[in-house]
């Protein structure tokens, strides 16, 4: 039985990856490691608790002694590393927590893999990263796997640093690795500090819809379940040492997405057309806000056969329906630290 460690598996993307692997590969044993910060939620993975090939372990990837013992006792064959601090706004307020988790934590995991994988055959360290490491694009062009790194925020700089560490352990120690850099994910179980769940929740409760600057920043949107499928494909067929960009081929301006959300939710909530759009509030732009991200995922499609299954409008409709059906989930996870953060960041500008 192949033993796989998934870090950050109680978070947004991680929970979808854990679910896919645990359900689709009964001959794999999945250890889900998560420290359960504000964005890690056991409610995301309650459906997995009874599976015989799955276990949850609470722990911190920056705790070297703990990680060392975990590798020693579990004898992992592979790591899928998703654990990270990931919100740009938070990285601007508290950059050192991002350095600690994303850089030091990745280094601790790499060191444990180097120590315990004496025979590296059939081993793999899969590092899941972001397109933000590439910086910002103008009106044209796309990020490819050859795009030079140019991170602009503490978050993206910490992820770029972790990417470089993974590559260094591959070249220096022969550690088998793959890296993927993905565009903006959306879908169910996302903590409502990110654009789509924040807007959906605020529309539902008739709260202001904070839009940075003029809302003209462009992002490429990737349905989280398509991303989980891409991780599956890369894990099983990716080439040792390679990087793969994962994108949805769906570029949207932030303000256009917000207006689309408002129109869809007015219909779903039986509101007068334009009622939700009246909640749009333009706020001071984020410091160092990157203008445009766009991923070229041609390599992943050409070499490994993956491509997104949904167009953005279809995925967005599924996403909205999930949040409307799980309003209690949102209420529970936003009742604590996030509420204080939200009040500080948006309503008092």
- What residues act catalytically? 131-132, 155
- For residue 127, what are the contacts with CB-CB under 8 A and spacing of at least 6? 81, 106, 162, 163, 166, 177, 178, 179, 180
Structure tokens at 178: 């793959």
Query: Is the CA virtual torsion 210, 213, 214, 215 positive or negative?
Result: negative
Torsion of CA 307, 313, 318, 322, to 10 degrees: 120
Q: Is 269 left (phi over 0), alpha (psi -120 to 50) or beta?
A: alpha
Those residues whose C-beta lies under 8 Å from the C-beta of residue 281, and which sit 6 or more positions away, are 208, 209, 210, 211
Residue labelled with tokens 């640093």: 161
Closest to 28 measured CA to CA, from 8, 59, 51: 51
Nearest 10 degrees: Cα torsion 99, 105, 106, 108: 130
Can you tell me whether residue 234 is helix, strand or coil? helix
Residue 101, token pair as written in the block: 């988790």
CA distance 287 to 180: 26
């Amino acid at each position: 039985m192949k033993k796989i460690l998934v870090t950050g598996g109680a978070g947004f993307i991680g929970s979808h990856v854990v679910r896919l692997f645990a359900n689709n590969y009964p001959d794999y044993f999945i250890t889900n490691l998560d420290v359960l910060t504000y964005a890690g939620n056991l409610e995301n993975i309650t459906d997995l608790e009874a599976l015989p090939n799955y276990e949850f372990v609470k722990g911190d990837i920056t705790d070297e002694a703990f990680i060392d013992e975990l590798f020693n006792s579990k004898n992992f064959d592979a790591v899928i590393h998703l654990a990270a601090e990931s919100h740009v706004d938070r990285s601007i307020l508290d950059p050192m927590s991002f350095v600690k988790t994303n850089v030091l934590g990745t280094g601790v995991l790499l060191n444990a893999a180097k120590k315990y994988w004496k025979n590296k055959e059939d081993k793999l360290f899969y590092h899941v990263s972001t397109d933000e490491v590439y910086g910002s694009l103008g009106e044209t062009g796309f990020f490819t796997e050859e795009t030079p790194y140019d991170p602009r925020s503490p978050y993206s700089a910490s992820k770029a640093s972790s990417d470089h560490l993974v590559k260094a352990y591959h070249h220096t120690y022969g550690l088998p690795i793959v890296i993927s850099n993905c565009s903006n994910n959306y879908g169910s179980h996302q903590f409502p500090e990110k654009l789509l769940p924040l807007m959906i929740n605020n529309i539902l409760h008739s709260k202001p819809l904070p839009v940075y600057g003029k809302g003209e920043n462009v992002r490429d949107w990737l349905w989280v379940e398509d991303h989980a499928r891409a991780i599956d494909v890369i894990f099983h067929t990716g080439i040792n040492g390679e990087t793969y960009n994962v994108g949805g081929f769906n570029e949207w301006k932030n303000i256009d997405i917000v207006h689309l959300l408002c129109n869809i939710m007015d219909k779903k909530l039986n509101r007068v057309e334009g009622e939700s759009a009246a909640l749009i509030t333009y706020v001071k732009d984020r410091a160092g806000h990157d203008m445009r991200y766009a991923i070229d995922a041609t390599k992943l499609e050409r070499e490994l056969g993956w491509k997104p299954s949904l167009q953005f409008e279809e995925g967005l409709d599924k996403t909205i329906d999930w949040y409307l059906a799980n309003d209690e989930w949102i209420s529970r996870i936003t009742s604590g630290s996030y509420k204080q953060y939200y009040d500080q960041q948006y309503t008092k500008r």
